[in-house]
């Protein structure tokens, strides 16, 4: 009896150390410039997914081929694939294109995938901007290309849609909002952190602080002109307008001040000389 107790005590004293030793066999260290990928998980889950997705009618070699493609997209690739594939399939896109697009997004980031899905819904659906399919698709694809900007793009257009269609704000019909938003895309590259904040600031200034001399249409057009000059243009416009209209400044009329402010705003961006 005593020996058994002794053995039991010895075992109990050793086993935590054994567990600790086991725990010390952790994941290998990954160099700083790389991301660790659970490619085996992605591969296995992809095979199961493609086998179950009867609409695709893939044979075994195609299942392996596509599963390997997804595995190369690193952790989360299958989820990204599924998100885009199902979005496009339910929107009536040709299956081959669905798979091609979904596969391309499987290699991108979660944010890019989320941005494309969000932008596409905002641009395409009937209750939103209701654009034609190709415009909605191409614009969404373009705006979600840049990993750093894709999140801004999604949020920008969602907020633009809400601002534009809100009856207490612009209250414009969907089509007009859609056309205006597409017009802003021309200047989008000038705004690395998104365009919406600059839009809102400028528009509200033109319709409230600037003496409300502009109609909604004029305010939107002027906003677009200001934004064409980049992210500093709204601030330059405001300052130039306030200076022109003030007695200490030029003391000119509202309209004249507006013109001057616009010219000053247009000088907000200058290309660097090579």
Partner 1 sequence: MIKLWGLLFFVFSAGAAPPSKPSQQVKVELEWEEIVGSTFYEVEVLRKDKTLVTTLKSPSPAMSVNLEPGYYLVRGRVRDHFNIQGEWSRLKEFLVPPKKIQAIAGQNSQMQVDPTTFMAPLKLHWEPPTGAHRYRIVLFNQDGKEIAKHESLQPQFSLSLRPGVYTYKVTPLTRDGVEGETFESPSMVVKSRPIPEVEEVAMEGENKKALLQWKKKTTLPTSVRLEYQKHFSTRWTRIHQSEIVETQWGLPQDLKPGKYRVLLWNRNRFGDVSSIKTLEFVIKPQESVL
Interacting residues with partner 1 (CB under 8 A): 87, 90-97, 121, 124-127, 130, 132-134, 137
Nearest CB to partner 1, comparing residues 135 and 176: 135
Give dist(CA 5, CA 11) in Å, integer: 10
- The one-character DSSP state at 172 is -
Sign of the dihedral defined by the CA atoms of residues 120, 121, 122, 126, in that order: positive
Two tokens, residue 125: 């659906």
CB of 162 to partner 1, least distance (A): 15
Nearest CB to partner 1, comparing residues 19 and 173: 173
Helix (H) or strand (E) holding 153: helix 150-165
Nearest CB to partner 1, comparing residues 108 and 121: 121
Nearest CB to partner 1, comparing residues 52 and 127: 127
CB of 128 to partner 1, least distance (A): 8
CB of 198 to partner 1, least distance (A): 29
The distance of Cα 252 from the centroid of its chain, to the nearest Å, equals 43
Which residues fall within 8 angstroms of residue 58, CB to CB, at 6 or more apart? 50, 66
Two tokens, residue 153: 């793009």
CB of 169 to partner 1, least distance (A): 21
CB of 132 to partner 1, least distance (A): 7
Nearest CB to partner 1, comparing residues 16 and 92: 92
Nearest CB to partner 1, comparing residues 80 and 187: 80
Q: How distant, in Å, are the alpha carbons of 148, 152, 197, 237, 270 from that of 193?
A: 9, 6, 9, 20, 19
Give dist(CA 86, CA 120) in Å, integer: 13
* Residue 267 near residue 229 (C-beta atoms within 8 A): yes
CB of 155 to partner 1, least distance (A): 18
């Amino acid at each position: 009896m005593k020996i058994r107790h002794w053995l039991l005590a010895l075992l109990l004293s050793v086993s935590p150390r054994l567990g600790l030793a086991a725990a010390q066999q952790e994941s290998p260290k990954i160099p700083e410039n790389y991301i660790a990928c659970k490619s085996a998980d992605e591969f296995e889950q992809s095979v199961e997914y493609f086998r179950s997705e009867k609409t695709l009618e893939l044979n075994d070699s195609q299942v392996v081929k596509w599963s390997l493609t997804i595995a190369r997209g690193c952790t989360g690739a299958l989820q990204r694939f599924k998100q885009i594939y199902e979005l496009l399939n339910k929107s009536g896109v040709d299956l081959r294109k669905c798979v091609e697009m979904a596969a391309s997004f499987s290699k991108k980031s979660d944010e890019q995938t989320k941005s494309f899905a969000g932008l596409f819904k905002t641009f395409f659906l009937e209750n939103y901007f209701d654009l034609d399919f190709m415009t909605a698709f191409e614009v969404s694809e373009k705006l979600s290309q840049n990993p750093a900007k894709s999140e801004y793009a999604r949020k920008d257009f969602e907020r633009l849609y809400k601002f534009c269609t809100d009856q207490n704000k612009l209250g414009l019909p969907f089509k007009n909002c859609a056309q205006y938003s597409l017009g802003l895309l021309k200047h989008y590259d000038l705004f690395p952190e998104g365009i919406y904040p600059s839009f809102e600031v400028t528009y509200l200034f033109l319709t409230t602080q600037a003496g409300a001399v502009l109609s909604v249409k004029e305010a939107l057009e002027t906003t677009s002109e200001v934004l064409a000059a980049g992210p500093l243009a709204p601030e330059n416009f405001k300052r130039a307008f306030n200076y022109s209209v003030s007695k200490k400044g030029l003391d000119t009329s509202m309209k004249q001040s507006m013109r001057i402010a616009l010219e000053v705003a247009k000088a907000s961006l200058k290309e660097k000389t090579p």
